[in-house]
Amino acid sequence: MDTKVSIIIPNFNGKKFLKTCLDSIKNQNYLFYDVIIIDNASSDGSVMYIQENYPEFTLIQNKENLGFAAAVNQGIKTSSSEYMFLLNNDVEIEHNSISNLLKCIEKDESIFAVSSKMIQYNDRSKIDDAGDEYTILGWTRKVGDGKSLDLYNAERETFSACAGAALYRKSILDKIGYFDENFFAYMEDVDISYRARIKGYKCVYCPEAVVYHLGSGTSGSKYNEFKIRLAARNNVYMPYKNMPWPQLVLNGIFLIVGYFIKYLFFFKKGQGSTYLNGLKEGFNSLGKVEKTKYENKYFTNYLKIEWLLIKNTIKFIFF
């Protein structure tokens, strides 16, 4: 059977989540898909569990934890499908999620990615993520986090699709490049959406594609040392990689203010040094990050992105 959608699931010690996630996939009303699970050297019996209970799914086994971005890239390179549905292992998807994502992305060839309506797994009256917005302060904002579902029932454009449950058009991935493995985990989905926007593509939020997300299933908690350090480092990588030098100079003071406010936030939580270490790691390792090549033909797109960053910041502060 030819597949139109490949579902790509990175897994690291997520055995306790797999039954809920994989059974919800098998319950889809859309049949033309395959499933590729990339295991990042789990030690909790995940591999044997998948082999014994889901032999119809493709399983790639890594000898070490290569991170989210590298695992996802392995899945994309393995697939010949038209669309890639990236999915965290700590989710449950409604039976019509894939079909609704497809309806959305096929409306417009300029749509690069579609973000699901992610609902908190343990409180299904609240949003987990309704698309991600990037700001001039270097922060990413999960739209709707903790708010009522009823506020996010309209389809709309969003800066980035959350790769925890998002459908991507492979033909555009082939043009702009895959996920940046230097990020390892966190912010790699914002980076790839930023690159798509430079080329004139867009991301859309689809409220009909419902996903229940436990959140931090792999990292263990919302504010842990691993996550704080990586996110801080990747917050340095993001603007450096995607903004040409004049834009970096223009936004430099705002980025510094953003880093300082985040430092104060984590300092109050007793994790200020972890955040600073992440920033230091980011600045000290910029040499390994390949900047997105600037092309004059996309000058207007850079202006649109800059204006969008400003608008997102205003929304973040005042609304």
Domains identified in the chain and CATH numbers: 5-213 (3.90.550.10), 225-318 (no CATH)
> Do the Cβ atoms of 73 and 179 come closer than 8 Å?
yes
Q: Which of 138, 146, 126 is nearest to 238 (CA)?
A: 138
Q: What pLDDT score does 281 carry?
A: 97
Q: Is 160 helix (H, G, I), strand (E, B) or coil?
A: strand
**Whole-angstrom distance, CA of residue 75 vs CA of residue 56:** 16
pLDDT at 317: 82
d(CA 74, CA 84): 12
**Amino acid code (one letter) for 261:** I
The pLDDT value given to residue 218? 54
pTM here is: 0.94
User: What is the β-pairing status of strands 156-158 and 33-40?
Assistant: unpaired
DSSP 154: S
pLDDT value for 29: 95
Q: Which helix (H) or strand (E) holds 203?
A: strand 202-213
How far does Cα 192 stand from its chain's mean position? Answer: 9
* Bridge partners, residue 93, by sequence: 211
- Of 231, 248, 246, the closest CA to residue 190 belongs to 231
Low-confidence spans in the chain with pLDDT less than 50: 219
What is the Cα–Cα distance from 281 to 237, expressed in whole angstroms?
10
pLDDT of residue 198: 98
Q: What is the dihedral of CA 196, 202, 203, 208, to 10 degrees?
A: -150
- Asked if residue 14 lies in contact with residue 217, where contact means CB atoms within 8 angstroms, the answer is yes
